[in-house]
Chains A and B, each alone.
Chain A
């Protein structure tokens, strides 16, 4: 058996060892003077483009050096290959990069050849971003296309090694935004990367592998990256947390926050370091965020206490029902139907938690009561299952008792018959 496993395992190891390091690497074109010279010169100042290019998505689509840089790749004379008359532009200036990429990426007719649904407004959007605006002001440090997408080894965003792959975006942005020295001179906090990495969003993205969890570009935009204004924060969060945003829009806090100049959502939940929300955040005790604004005499304080009481009641009821059903199931009772029905109460708890953002104790209580009723019914089913279990055990021992008496009677009868037959 071991031998049977060893052979395929050894083959697998050999295959892995022999496999090329870059699985997606492609072959560079033959007879191309750009490739031949840049690769052949051996000077680290000029070889990186040729070294990196095999991983580039453009190569895969047949787009070569001259398509961006101009020149004549069929000419092996450096003067001729890099002739301005052949459109050679050399290394484009920082400020010219968006326009250079946009030559193709903003051309809908051209881009449709590769993907009929591809966006072509990235450059236009870029100039609405803080990055684009600063670039127009000739800022040489600000990010352009290549700072986020890399250069010469640009990968498709679905490629897990791409700088723009969701799980890698924070590090891509963080290369500038997490570097206090680089960001000196800009009025932007550089602790945001560290804070984000502590957030529930980052945990969902990297630990749970949920690629829909937000990273920098989901809230700030990508090509049009900009910090959301106070009035648009709720809309940003609401793109994912739709029901919560709807409740907040109907709540008294909407007007109050606007009047006080407080940003919705982030005032209670923070922005980059959003922690996993808990029921403890609402209420009238010290851990609740409500008491940051509402004092003990206010209506809001009473309302917060009421909301918390409803949440606690429902959560407790769901937990108790879940525990008793679990206990019954472990004892071998069939309670899967009740467990399924309890999911209704758990859904109610989720809805109630969203409804907290309506900040109306009565609305929350109505929703919570439905769940509490369901949970109580399921608790009763769990109790009944345990009662049935005790009945079964009692019934078993009574039956075993009767059977033992019958067996004893039979044994006595057998002995009597054997004795009679021996004697007679």
Chain B
């Protein structure tokens, strides 16, 4: 009797041959055979892109499962999430993993973004990969912001109110943007329907397209090697993507799955109390951690800076900061010429330090939740 593994291998070979007869898989086989990953002292940072992709996959799967029970209306949203948490088999696990994974994904995405920044992987010919990555980062933050409101609990309701108020500070189009986001003058059931549509329809559509482009570019151009290693004179050793790097990726993904499971089991995502638009805002309203540095900055700004509203200056500042990061491949001319670029290095250090310090201050301020 043949062992089960060889039977499985036989089945796989047959399936492969069947597919090969119909759709020529030679190109894909070649890609897999030739795709390599550079091995050097910064190789570890390559894993964060794959980790983010894995967590995005978890978001898609758990999100689809949540869709089966979630009801997007002010009257039913909270109760439906409560039902998912208490009555649906493993509903608590799916919802908690969805919430935790969203946060871990933003964290790995930020690590991926800044590792690419500091390794200057945005330089020619990977400008479009950087730009598509920045777009994905923006989409992920919008995913987080829109998804936060969906349970329709007190904290989410008032945080969304504050968040959409901030959008109102954008010069010229602020009021229009707030109304567009809210579906009216205030955060209501109309806002919830709108955020739901954005979260499960519009954002996935754009993300699929841009993520596809991002991955295509990564495959097309291969992994970037940091300039100082590339210019070292010696050939950079590599490892095959399949199976060497993929198996290492798998180790990381399985570890992430275990961590998510532990977080869900020991720290299930809280539901809180149902939003009451007529109740006063509870003390210590705070956004999700990845918006905390912006929130804290706006708190520190005085009401007026010269003739302009302080908040408007803050919003403009963050807008310009985002635009700067978006355009980094085109602004950093030294890196493009293959030279050292200390200015952009120190700007990066400044941005990371600013985000970390302001976020910490946000959590250390008394009276918050």
Contacts and interface: CB of A to CB of B under 8 A. Distances in A.
Interface of A: 1, 4, 332-337, 392-393, 395-396, 399-400, 403-404, 406-407, 410-411, 413-414, 417-418, 421
B258 A336 contact: no
B92 interface: yes
A335 B270 CA distance: 11
Nearest to B273: A336
A414 B266 CA distance: 32
B267 interface: yes
Contact of B244 (A392, A403, A418): A418
A410 B258 contact: no
Nearest to A385: B86
Contact of B243 (A337, A399, A403, A417): A417
Q: How large is the interface on B (under 10, 10 to 19, 20 to 34, 35 or more residues)?
A: 20 to 34
Contact of A407 (B93, B255, B271): B255
18 contacts: A332-B268, A334-B86, A334-B92, A392-B93, A393-B266, A395-B265, A396-B261, A396-B265, A399-B258, A400-B258, A400-B261, A400-B262, A404-B258, A407-B251, A407-B255, A413-B247, A414-B244, A421-B240
B254 A4 contact: no
A337 B244 contact: no
B247 A410 contact: yes
Interface string B24-46: 00000000000000000000000
A417 B247 contact: yes
A403 B255 CA distance: 7
B352 interface: no
Contacts of A418: 244
Nearest to B255: A407
Contacts of A1: 300
A332 B271 contact: no
B339 to A, nearest CB: 36
A1 B364 CA distance: 15
Given A403-B258, A417-B244, A334 B268 contact: yes
Contacts of B302: 4
Contacts of B258: 399-400, 403-404
B78 to A, nearest CB: 10
B248 A414 contact: yes
Contacts of A333: 268
B60 to A, nearest CB: 21
Given A4-B302, A336-B271, A406 B86 contact: no
Interface in B79-104: 82, 85-86, 92-93
Interface of B: 82, 85-86, 92-93, 240, 243-244, 247-248, 250-251, 254-255, 257-258, 261-262, 265-268, 270-271, 273, 300, 302
Nearest to B78: A336
Identify whether the interface residues of A are mostly helix, strand, loop, or mixed.
Answer: helix
A407 B254 contact: yes
B254 A410 contact: yes
A406 B254 contact: yes
A98 to B, nearest CB: 45
A399 B254 CA distance: 11
B363 to A, nearest CB: 16
Given A334-B92, A336-B271, A403 B248 contact: no
B251 A332 contact: no
Contact of B86 (A337, A410, A421): A337
A103 to B, nearest CB: 47
A6 to B, nearest CB: 11
Contacts of A399: 258, 261
Given A417-B244, A417-B247, A418-B244, A332 B82 contact: no
Contacts of B267: 332
B42 to A, nearest CB: 19
Nearest to B95: A334
A392 B247 CA distance: 29
B80 to A, nearest CB: 13
A396 B262 contact: yes
Contact of A403 (B247, B257, B265, B270): B257
Given A4-B300, A410-B250, A414-B247, A336 B82 contact: yes
A36 B222 CA distance: 96
Given A335-B86, A413-B243, A414-B248, 20 more contacts: A4-B300, A4-B302, A334-B85, A334-B92, A334-B268, A336-B82, A392-B92, A392-B93, A393-B265, A393-B266, A396-B265, A396-B266, A403-B258, A403-B261, A406-B254, A407-B251, A410-B250, A414-B244, A417-B243, A417-B247
A337 to B, nearest CB: 6
Contacts of B271: 334, 336
Nearest to A384: B86
A400 B258 CA distance: 6
Given A334-B268, A336-B271, A393-B265, A403 B92 contact: no
